[in-house]
Amino acid sequence: MVLQWLTFSLGRWATIMLQLLFLIATSYPCTASTMLVHPYVRTIVSEVGCQSGYEWMNNQENSDPCRVVAYVLAACFGNSWTQPPLAPGNWYNPPNGSFVTPCYCSWSGYNLLMACTYCQSANDTGQLLTWQNFTPNCPTSYTDESFPSGYTLLAGETIPYWATIDPMTWTGQIWDEQQAYEYSLQGKPDLLPSVSTGSHSSDLAAIVGGTVGGVVFLLLSFGICFLCKRRRYRRVRATPVAEIKVEPNPSWQMRNRQLSDQSKTSVSQQKNVSPATYYTGSGTQAIPSMYPSSPPGLYTTSYDTSGAQPHPAIPII
């Protein structure tokens, strides 16, 4: 009902924008937990497991360090990571190139990767790297925290307390299994990166931010469209300026016509009058009247024409 009223009031374009907004709003899940897990396809896989006897390395979700490090590294790679097993005599490469990320260079990234190496190789420390050899390509800002602020782990995975220790404190600045075990016995809670700490790779924050941005954009578009239609409506309803028309005056037209006719008649009569001849002496000569409309004889004049001689006529100009 509301949508129909808006359709009638605002027009076709506003209705289209409202419908798009409705589709966007209904396309997202209703709960935050659902948005966090299902909007995108993710692949976080650990193809390796620790040997028995290293269960103390597991986090509170009972995930071994190889699985947890996959989640830690994936946080900076779009929540997609596959942790491969190590062949005998090999080790995991330190961060380099595109793999230089805050997650890979963090304390937990190093500690968990070394623990994953150690639990596969049956106490072989020859495959472990020192902290200095692990971070030559990492900027200082990446190597000064246990886990980068603003990032979260998918599916609520946590980082065991022993993996949050500064590698500079390990003996020889290399991960030490005995020291890590002693830290695990302290019973301190695991680290749970929170959504509130930042939004760099948080799916929830990204979705909320994108949704809010889309809503703001649509609202702005709706407002602009509404103002344009309102201005156009006002222009249509505005009273046009009246055109001033000068109507002819019948009395003036009649008077002008009479004057014109009289002028034409006078000119015509003047052309038909013959030139007059003047005499001197006794006698009477009537001069043709220049005003035909006057009574006859009004302008008659007497002349003495006896013994007079004719004079050439003076043309009337």
pLDDT digits (tens, 9 = 90+) for 184-216: 999 999 999 874 443 344 444 455 566 777 777
Residue 125 has what pLDDT? 75
Residue 74 has what pLDDT? 96
Burial of 162 (0-12, 13-18, 19+ CB in 10 A): buried
Model confidence at 82, pLDDT cuts 50, 70, 90, reads very high
Question: Is the pLDDT reported for residue 100 higher than 90?
Answer: yes
Residue 258 has what pLDDT? 63
Angle between helical axes of 12-27 and 2-10 (0-180°, round to 10): 140
- Which is more confidently placed, 212 or 127? 127
Note the pLDDT tens digit of each residue in 131-174. Answer: 999 999 999 999 999 999 989 999 889 999 999 999 999 999 99
SS in 3 state form for the chain?
CHHHHHHHHHCHHHHHHHHHHHHHHHHCCCCHHHHHHCCCCCEEEECCCCCCCCHHHCCCCCCCHHHHHHHHHHCCCCCEEEECCCCCCCCCCCCCHHHCCCCCCCHHHHHHHHHHHHHHCCCCHHHCCEHHHHCCCCCHHHCCCCCCCCCCCHHHCCECHHHHCCHHHCHHHECCHHHHHHHHCCCCCCECCCHHHCCCCCHHHHHHHHHHHHHHHHHHHHHHHHHHHHHHHHHHHCCCCCCCCCCCCHHHHHHHHHHHHHHHHHHHHHHHCCCCCCCCCEEEECCCCCCCCCCCCCCCEEEECCCCCCCCCCCCC
Residue 2 has what pLDDT? 46
Residue 209 has what pLDDT? 65
Most confident segment among 70-79, 278-287, 290-299: 70-79
Residue 32 has what pLDDT? 34
Residue 177 has what pLDDT? 95
Residue 227 has what pLDDT? 74
Note the pLDDT tens digit of each residue in 11-69. Answer: 555 566 656 655 555 444 443 332 333 334 468 999 998 999 999 999 999 999 999 99
Give CA–CA dist 136/172, Å, rounded. Answer: 16
Distances, alpha carbon 279 to alpha carbons 159, 274, 287, 297, 299, in Å: 149, 16, 12, 19, 17
Asked if residue 208 lies in contact with residue 215, where contact means CB atoms within 8 angstroms, the answer is: no
Question: Is the pLDDT reported for residue 254 higher than 90?
Answer: no
Angle at 30 between CA 26 and CA 35, to 5 degrees: 100
